[in-house]
Structure 1
Amino acid sequence: MSPRWAFVPIHVNVLRSIGKSGDVTTTARTITTSVPARLDRLPWSRWHWTVVIGLGTVWVLDGLEVTVVGNIAGRLSEQGSGLSISSGGVTGLAAALYVAGACSGALFFGRLTDLFGRKRLFMVTLAVYLTATALTALSYSSWWFFAFRFLTGFGIGGEYAAINSAIDELIPAVYRGRVDLIINGSFWLGAIAGSLLSILMLDTSIFAKHVGWRLTFALGVVLGLVILLVRRHVPESPRWLFIHGREEEAEELVTLIEERVTLEKGAPLPPAKGRLVIRQRESFGFRDIARTVFSDYRRRAVLGLALFIGQAFLYNAITFGFGAILTRFFGVSTSRTGYFFAVIAVGNFLGPLFLGKLFDTVGRRIMISSTYLLAGVLLFGTAWLFGDGRLNAVTLTACWAVVLFFASAGASSAYLTVSEIFPMETRAMAIAFFYAVGTAVGGISGPLLFASLTQSGVVGDTVLAFSIGAGLMCGGGVIAAFLAVRAEGRSLEDIAAPLSVTSADPLPAPAPAE
């Protein structure tokens, strides 16, 4: 049986506004659609894997980028590397510029994503990343390297807004939590690859000093090109289409997806329950967005900021000084720190992988708050053990891996949270804003603060760095325990009604603003 039996036709009403002179001044279209319900009732299929691979693998690139730069810092400062730059300049200034670029790119492309669509922007942002990374590999001076680190971050930041909004709008509600967490956690697969790749590329018996580090960036470009080829087959979000006056495209696209899934499963789909009545608008101004996020949903705004700031500081407390800590306090060779980082990267990826399903079953509030609190408490314990001289390089790395097992699931849930708790029309911009603000507070000031603390060689300074990250992570967990939204298994339109909605039938009443 064709899935069209569940098809609900679009009903369009044209509403004309009459000006003072009696002339028609504007035209608004009101439609009735079941597109969200039809998408959410789909079983998992090969088509969904296409979406995950095409969109989610970009985090592997981000992890590769960040890790490679951290691991090649020592090489770039050496004579014969081809650049005149200090190790501190790479781990401090270059890292801060990359994060600054990511924050700027998120805000810039986030607004464009809400205006012009998810697909158009996630193609553009990947192209920006590829170009900037290729030009980083060709760096001939420090200013060139710094400039294109900023632009690489600019492209990656745009990816966060475009990709997270697209994924959440295409993945069925019952799978949304685990899929989002695992995709964001795949950053650490790139980190593992970056750590191991840097060991190979920095081996001067294989590659010259001025060649190896360039090849690491070149390989990132190759991986990005492969992702670009897959991404061409990922469609525009039907949810974005019907709100922006392209309801016929949305219906045709969802019907095509239904046909593919039905053919794969060999059975008809269950009926889609629920329709929305939408008054279409081409765009929403910053005033509408700001009022919605900070007035109508101000409790959720506090939640988003707390989650992003907490995870940013915890990660900076560990990752921006891990190499210096191992080298200064435990005598680990700089050529071997990549192995230790690969271990904590594995812990980071396993967290979302094993805990992700619980965010859809046990629930968002319990899992978000518990992962944040556990990570913070465990890092406090690590700080105490380190300060008391009870750890060596191996046991400290083991402690970090356990801390980050929980922290990674929590950090990934921050992206999930801000991408699902605000209305459709503000989604990409909301992701961009909370990512930019949280990451700017923790990701720009963090590297500068923690680099100075962890590289001072003073045990107390490193304990302080750990404690700052742990304290802010615990704070995020406490706030989540009170404010996190129970979004598991619920339609995005149920969690936060679109600004364009005029009625919903027979969907449950939209979640009240918090």
Structure 2
Amino acid sequence: MTSGVLTTSIPARLDRLPWAHFHWRVLIGLGTVWILDGLEVTIVGSIASRMTEHGSGAGMSSGDVGVAAAFYVLGACLGALVFGQLTDRFGRKKLFLVTLGVYVLATIATAFTFAPWFFFLARFVTGAGIGGEYAAINSAIDELIPARLRGRVDLVVNGTYWGGSAAGSALALVFLDQSIFPLPVGWRLAFALGAVLGVVILVVRRHVPESPRWLFIHGREDEAEKIVGSIEQEVERESGKELDEPESSIRIRQRHAIPFREIARTAFKTYPRRAVLGLALFVGQAFLYNGITFNLGTLFSTYYNVNSGFVPVFVVVYAVGNLLGPLLLGRLFDTVGRRPMIATSYLGSAVLTVPLIFVFTSGAGGPWGFLALLVATFFLASAGASAAYLTVSEIFPMETRALAIAFFYAIGTGVGGIIGPLLFGSLVEANDRGLAALGFGVAAVVMAIGGVAELLFGVKAENASLEDIAQPLTAQ
């Protein structure tokens, strides 16, 4: 449905803003979802075995744990697609409130698990909420953060997943301690903690505005002007300086609704090279991360005889290494550039698997030597994985942004996130170092393909307005 033609400088006004308290609210209110996801996945992985013990109250078997993981992944994929489309249609704010609400309610329900089927259902809905969060959150952040800072902020936000993972591993040691919590109580409190954190984030998130970019395209320019004007006034009061005049404007034909067929046609007919790039980056990082991370505890216990109670310590170190990658390298994606840094992170992590495989197959250095090379490999890989979300968020038109994130996340998780763990898990369980090393090799090849795709199809998006990288479908 068409509304009218509008000339606006809102994108340029948002991009010229200096960093201010407003941006911190966006970062804290929206970015913390990745911490929740890391906390959620890691705690579940750590306490799942406790839920299979007699007297836990969950009534689950070890086989049920794997089924629950599949339900979570399926929920995340479907949730991303459904909520991604709704985010582009009904707005960023409505959906990033709804998806977090879904997560909180499902997590509370999980704490009351009494049978396997109930746990499967709760994990499916929890995954749907998290998958929807990815689409709503990344699109909102990229549309609110100034262009010159978009790369590093996106990488830091996505990288905080590993902060949650490290915290989840550490907290699991406490919740599993039966001298502190009885057997049927500790694992329930672990889920309750995630719900409490979700409620706190929901309160903060209510103060994050709707994306002005989304508003003016959907015929609500008065609301967009009001939001941007209030942000500018706040920034001027905070800095004590008047803002410069915006340097550019864009002319668009407003649309209240954009058909899905038009979105799909634009994404895959207008930008086929970018679609190939998004698939290569997402499948590569999903295969590597899901394949190795889901089997990390088994690797250390099976091949290095590490006690299962001490495995979370190794996971904490591994998670911290993953967190440092985006934190320390993030600004380079804005200064050195997207293409060289994404290619370096993907190809570099692939190259580092060569000494990693040697150390693993030979047993040299023991578990700590293996962990050191693992941390070095994933220091680079984590920056690349975070950049995959940044890439698909900024290289497609604004009207398709959330759905593009959702689509590539769903495909990457569905292909790499399922095949990776199944393949790597079967090789690890063979109790043969040579076969397990083959899993590392396959993961390296898939990551290398992502790096080559970036070299061939990468887009120069650093310091550029989103509207210059991919012109809106409604642009005149």
- Could you tell me how far apart the structure 2 residues matched to 1:299 and 1:51 are? 31
* Paired position in structure 1 for 2:29: 54
| Residues 15-50 of structure 1, C-alpha deviations (whole Å, 9 max, x = no match) | xxxxxxxxxxx8640011100000000000011000
Q: In the TM superposition, what is the alpha-carbon distance from 1:482 to its structure 2 partner?
A: 1.4
Q: Which moved more, 1:451-460 or 1:295-304?
A: 451-460
CA contact (8 A) 1:136 1:148 kept: yes
Tell me the secondary structure at the aligned position of residue 331 of structure 2.
helix
Whether 2:85 is the aligned partner of 1:115: answer no
- Could you tell me how far apart the structure 2 residues matched to 1:409 and 1:387 are? 27
Structure 2 length-normalised TM: 0.98
Aligned-pair identity in percent equals 60
Give 1:419's match in structure 2, choosing from 393, 398, 404.
393
- Could you tell me how far apart the structure 2 residues matched to 1:482 and 1:34 are? 33
- Could you tell me how far apart the structure 2 residues matched to 1:277 and 1:137 are? 51
* Paired position in structure 2 for 1:336: 310
* Paired position in structure 2 for 1:11: none
Give 1:351's match in structure 2, choosing from 308, 325, 340.
325
Aligned residue pairs total: 476
* Paired position in structure 2 for 1:403: 377
Q: In the TM superposition, what is the alpha-carbon distance from 1:446 to its structure 2 partner?
A: 2.4
- Could you tell me how far apart the structure 2 residues matched to 1:449 and 1:73 are? 21
| Residues 313-350 of structure 1, C-alpha deviations (whole Å, 9 max, x = no match) | 11123211110111111111111111100001000000
* Paired position in structure 2 for 1:20: none
* Paired position in structure 1 for 2:335: 361
CA contact (8 A) 2:395 2:470 kept: yes
CA contact (8 A) 1:313 1:468 kept: no
The amino acid across from 2:207 in the alignment is H
CA contact (8 A) 1:324 1:454 kept: yes
Whether 2:261 is the aligned partner of 1:290: answer no
Q: In the TM superposition, what is the alpha-carbon distance from 1:214 to its structure 2 partner?
A: 0.9
Give 1:42's match in structure 2, choosing from 8, 14, 17.
17
- Once the two structures are superposed, the pairs formed by residues 462-477 of structure 1 within 5 Å of their partners are 462-477=436-451
Tell me the secondary structure at the aligned position of residue 209 of structure 2.
coil
- Could you tell me how far apart the structure 2 residues matched to 1:325 and 1:60 are? 25
Whether 2:277 is the aligned partner of 1:303: answer yes
* Paired position in structure 1 for 2:405: 431
Give 1:154's match in structure 2, choosing from 119, 128, 132.
128
- Once the two structures are superposed, the pairs formed by residues 17-28 of structure 1 within 5 Å of their partners are 28=3
* Paired position in structure 2 for 1:242: 216
The amino acid across from 1:160 in the alignment is Y
- Could you tell me how far apart the structure 2 residues matched to 1:498 and 1:157 are? 25
Whether 2:214 is the aligned partner of 1:222: answer no
CA RMSD of aligned residues (A): 1.1
Q: In the TM superposition, what is the alpha-carbon distance from 1:139 to its structure 2 partner?
A: 0.5
Q: In the TM superposition, what is the alpha-carbon distance from 1:84 to its structure 2 partner?
A: 2.8
Q: In the TM superposition, what is the alpha-carbon distance from 1:353 to its structure 2 partner?
A: 0.2
- Could you tell me how far apart the structure 2 residues matched to 1:236 and 1:298 are? 30
Structure 1 length-normalised TM: 0.91
Larger Rg: 1
| Residues 361-417 of structure 1, C-alpha deviations (whole Å, 9 max, x = no match) | 000000000000111111233123212232421111111111111111000000000
- Once the two structures are superposed, the pairs formed by residues 59-458 of structure 1 within 5 Å of their partners are 59-90=34-65, 92-458=66-432
Whether 2:458 is the aligned partner of 1:484: answer yes
Tell me the secondary structure at the aligned position of residue 72 of structure 1.
helix
CA contact (8 A) 1:129 1:155 kept: yes
**What stretches of structure 2 of length at least 5 have no aligned partner?**
none
Moved over 6 A (4+): none
Tell me the secondary structure at the aligned position of residue 280 of structure 1.
strand
- Could you tell me how far apart the structure 2 residues matched to 1:165 and 1:375 are? 27
